[in-house]
Amino acid sequence: MVSRRQLLTGLLATGMVPRVTWADVGNPAFLSAARDQSGAYALYGLSHTGARLFRVDLPSRGHSGAAHPFRPEAVAFARRPGTFAMVLNCAAGTVTAQIEAPAGRHFYGHGAFSLDGSRLYTTENDYDAARGRVGIWDAQNGYVRIGEVSSGGVGPHEMLRLPGQDVFAVANGGIETHPEMGRQMLNIPFMRPNLSYLSADGDLLGQVELPEDFRKNSIRHLAAASDGQIAFAMQWHGSNETHPPLLGLHRLGQQAPLLISAPEDRQRQMQGYAGSVAMNANGSLVAVSSPRGGVLHLFSAAEAAFERAEFLEDICGLGPSGLGVFSTSGTGHVARVEAGALSPLRHHPVNWDNHLTALPQS
């Protein structure tokens, strides 16, 4: 556990009164990786209205990012099975550090910062042993590796920090892969995904699995509400003749997760694949996207009930936006979906990549 004193010294060390903050880069609401028309890859800052605030080059296709809680600093992860992540100074548009996965590990493309911003956590594959790991990096000293802990399962994908506390939720997708065999899945008949909660030091605080019938539902992506409610999105690797739920809700300490599905004829639109998940600011609305189906499903969190679908080609990235959610698509579209309707915000001449990273708002 991080003590109050450690927390305070951590804050002091990073500059309690930071010289440069996210406000200095225009208070972006989101980060997203994208490919532009020339085929180059970059990380972008986007405002709440979808305006482009900054752009930092990436050497290859990105996947997702992690945002420092107050420095305008972001970590952009390469697409799985990448072995690098870039630390970007979003104010200067420069790369301040490059993180390399240690030998025998690759990144999964997601990570999270500690509450005080002193540590970065990354989901990793110890592929020869087929064990999921969480790498811990010192964000105050050039991102040197401090250590690693078990992710609580196989194939950890997204991890996030619960708002206001140093507790991390990790989506252990359950799928064994090895970089020498691309993205081939090596253990589908035996896969066993879980949602794990870790302390800042890697202690397993809680873990839930799925019912036996849904064991082939890989838990991949996460969203958290301010009260600690977790929404998780899944990717189905079982029969394509069934359309199982792809969204779950859980709270640390609860027994079983609550799995939610749209009515069958709607659920099939998702094609067994949820790409991203987001909750609105007060946690009342949950959204999952399926780029394969070109569809967004909206659910009421309180009633765990399907509300409606919106269709957008190649939609994937999602983030909170007031009482609604914000979305990006591989076609370059940026939109906002509120309870009532979908409003297109802007179109950029880029292919927005899978995920949006929501930034702390001052």
Partner 1 sequence: MRHVLAIAFLILPLPVLAGPVDDVLDHHILPRLERLASETALLSTVAEQHCDGPSALLQAAFNRSVDAWIGGSHLRFGPSEEENRAFALAFWPDSRGLTPRSLTVLLTQEDPIGLDPVAYREMSIAARGFYALEFLIFDPDISTSGSEAYRCVLIQTVAADIAYTSMEIYDDWVSRYADLMRNAGENDRYQSEDEAVRALLGALSTGLEFTADMRLGRPLGTFDRPQPQRAEMRRSERSLANVRESIAALGELAVLLAGENDPLSANLSIAFARAISRADIIDDPDFSGVAMPGQRVRIEALQRQVRDLRELVNTQLAPELGVAAGFNSLDGD
Give the H/E segment covering residue 266: helix 264-267
Q: Which is nearer to partner 1, 22 or 352 (CB)?
A: 352
User: Can you tell me whether residue 11 is helix, strand or coil?
Assistant: helix
What is the number of helices (H) and of strands (E) in the chain? Answer: 2, 28
| Distance in Å, CB of 76 to partner 1, minimum | 15
56 closest CA partner among 80, 24, 83, 31? 31
Q: Which is nearer to partner 1, 116 or 314 (CB)?
A: 314
Q: Which is nearer to partner 1, 53 or 188 (CB)?
A: 188
Q: Which is nearer to partner 1, 10 or 109 (CB)?
A: 109
Give the H/E segment covering residue 12: helix 4-14
| Distance in Å, CB of 60 to partner 1, minimum | 13
Cα radius of gyration rounded to whole Å, the chain: 19
Task: Sheet with 119-126: list strands edge to edge.
Answer: 105-113, 119-126, 131-138, 144-150
For residue 176 the two structure tokens come to 């064994």
| Distance in Å, CB of 88 to partner 1, minimum | 21
Q: Which is nearer to partner 1, 225 or 356 (CB)?
A: 356
Q: Which is nearer to partner 1, 220 or 250 (CB)?
A: 220
Q: Which phi and psi (to 5°) does residue 172 adopt?
A: -85, 100
| Distance in Å, CB of 228 to partner 1, minimum | 26
Rounded distance between C-alpha atoms, residue 237 and residue 15, angstroms: 46
Q: Which is nearer to partner 1, 69 or 317 (CB)?
A: 317
| Distance in Å, CB of 71 to partner 1, minimum | 28
Question: Are 40 and 57 contacting, i.e. CB atoms less than 8 angstroms apart?
Answer: yes
For residue 253 the two structure tokens come to 């300490």
Please report, as ranges, the residues that interact with partner 1 according to CB under 8 A.
35, 63, 79-80, 109, 130, 157, 176, 178, 180-184, 186-189, 220, 238-241, 265, 268, 273, 275, 291-292, 294, 313-316, 329-331, 351-354
76 closest CA partner among 41, 127, 25? 41
| Distance in Å, CB of 239 to partner 1, minimum | 5
207 closest CA partner among 217, 194, 218? 194
Question: Are 345 and 335 contacting, i.e. CB atoms less than 8 angstroms apart?
Answer: yes
| Distance in Å, CB of 248 to partner 1, minimum | 19
| Distance in Å, CB of 112 to partner 1, minimum | 17
Q: Which is nearer to partner 1, 24 or 313 (CB)?
A: 313
Nearest 10 degrees: Cα torsion 241, 300, 212, 229: 140
